[in-house]
């Protein structure tokens, strides 16, 4: 089945690399107009959108800052006049050892929460308000298996932030479904990205491979089709759900 997203305007945060790049490319190939957010990878974002200049537009914002997050959403609406779907993919994973000095540990915690949860919450709030002025819309949040099974001791903040994303998504689905606003959560496991590479450099790639049921690590392209499917409206009655894409690393 070929998915067509022609006529849809979709915002992808963290859309220039990793999982976000895979999602951006899939949405563009499906005919969507994509607002591609990036923080510091402008060149990668430009290269990603080559051949789709008319269907894409780049937006820079540091989501660690609330005002920059607010401005990002406003700039997307100013540019396109509407938004049909929002994919909150941007995230950070900071290793913060349990014996780290408390003030440094708090810095890591706050930074992680600001990017992974507060920015996601702010963008969801603004998207809901925008969707209420039109015929509804869809939110797709990228969480993590860590939200359900936890993570290592030095990634407590990451797991906690992703758990918050799951609760946020479910709350939006329950609160706004009657207004034709749907929300979905995708929970990846290890995905071969720069962010995951930092973890594998620390623990070794065998650690990741031994933790899954398949022979290969998940790639960004393995998540992207599910995002396109959810954005299409073909799975609206799955609103509030979490879809695990983690190569069978656990069952919950």
Per-residue pLDDT at 252 exceeds 60 = no
How does pLDDT run across 197-239, given as a tens digit for each residue?
Answer: 776 777 677 776 777 777 788 888 999 999 999 999 999 999 9
**Domains identified in the chain, total number:** 1
Residue for token digits 């990002």?
72
Can you read off the two tokens belonging to residue 216?
A: 């290969």
In a domain, 155, yes or no: yes
* Mean pLDDT to the nearest integer, 235-246: 95
Q: Which residue has the higher pLDDT, 250 or 66?
A: 66
CA distance 138 to 195: 26
- The pLDDT-based confidence of 191 (bands split at 50, 70, 90) is confident
Least confident span in 4-13, 143-152, 228-237: 143-152
CA distance 123 to 128: 9
In a domain, 44, yes or no: yes
pLDDT given at position 204 = 72
pLDDT given at position 27 = 98
Q: Residue 210, SS3?
A: coil
pLDDT given at position 85 = 98
CATH of the domain at 226: 3.40.50.720
In a domain, 83, yes or no: yes
- The pLDDT-based confidence of 2 (bands split at 50, 70, 90) is confident
pLDDT given at position 199 = 67
Residue positions annotated with a catalytic role: 158
* 78 CB neighbour count, 10 Å cutoff: 9
How does pLDDT run across 21-70, given as a tens digit for each residue?
Answer: 999 999 999 999 999 999 999 999 999 999 999 999 999 999 999 999 99
pLDDT given at position 88 = 98
Domain encompassing residue 128? 9-189+222-244
Least confident span in 44-48, 118-122, 248-252: 248-252
In a domain, 210, yes or no: no
Contacts by 63-70 with C-beta closer than 8 Å and gap 24+?
A: 63/13, 63/39, 63/90, 63/114, 63/115, 63/119, 64/111, 64/114, 64/115, 64/119, 65/114, 66/114, 66/118, 66/119, 66/122, 69/118, 69/119, 69/122, 69/123, 70/122, 70/126
In a domain, 198, yes or no: no
Q: What percent of the chain has pLDDT over 70?
A: 95
Mean pLDDT, the chain, rounded, equals 93
pLDDT given at position 216 = 81
In a domain, 217, yes or no: no
Beta bridge pairs of residue 140: 87, 184
In a domain, 215, yes or no: no
In a domain, 207, yes or no: no
The model's pTM is: 0.94
Q: Which residues of 97-108 are buried (b: 16+ CB within 10 A; e: fewer)?
A: eeeeeeeebeeb
């Amino acid at each position: 089945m070929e998915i067509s997203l022609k006529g849809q305007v979709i915002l992808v945060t963290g859309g220039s690399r990793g999982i976000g790049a895979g999602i951006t490319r899939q949405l563009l190939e499906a005919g969507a107009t994509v607002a591609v957010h990036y923080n510091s990878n402008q060149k990668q974002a430009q290269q990603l959108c080559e051949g789709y200049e008319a269907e894409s537009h780049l937006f820079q914002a540091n989501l660690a800052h609330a005002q920059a997050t607010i401005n990002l959403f406003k700039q997307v609406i100013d540019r396109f006049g509407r938004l049909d779907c929002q994919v909150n993919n941007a995230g950070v994973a900071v290793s913060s050892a349990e014996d780290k000095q408390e003030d440094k540990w708090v810095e890591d915690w706050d930074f992680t929460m600001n990017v992974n949860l507060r920015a996601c919450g702010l963008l969801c709030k603004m998207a809901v308000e925008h969707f209420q002025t039109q015929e509804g819309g869809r939110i797709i949040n990228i969480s993590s298996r860590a939200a359900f099974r936890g993570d290592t001791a030095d990634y407590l903040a990451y797991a906690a932030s992703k758990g918050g994303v799951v609760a946020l998504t479910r709350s939006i689905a329950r609160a706004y479904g009657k207004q034709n606003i749907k929300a979905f959560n995708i929970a990846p496991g290890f995905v071969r990205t720069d962010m995951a590479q930092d973890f594998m450099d620390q623990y070794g790639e065998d650690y990741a491979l031994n933790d899954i049921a398949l022979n290969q690590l998940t790639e960004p392209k393995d998540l992207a089709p599910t995002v396109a499917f959810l954005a299409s409206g073909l799975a609206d009655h799955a609103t509030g759900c979490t879809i695990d894409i983690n190569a069978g690393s656990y069952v919950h």
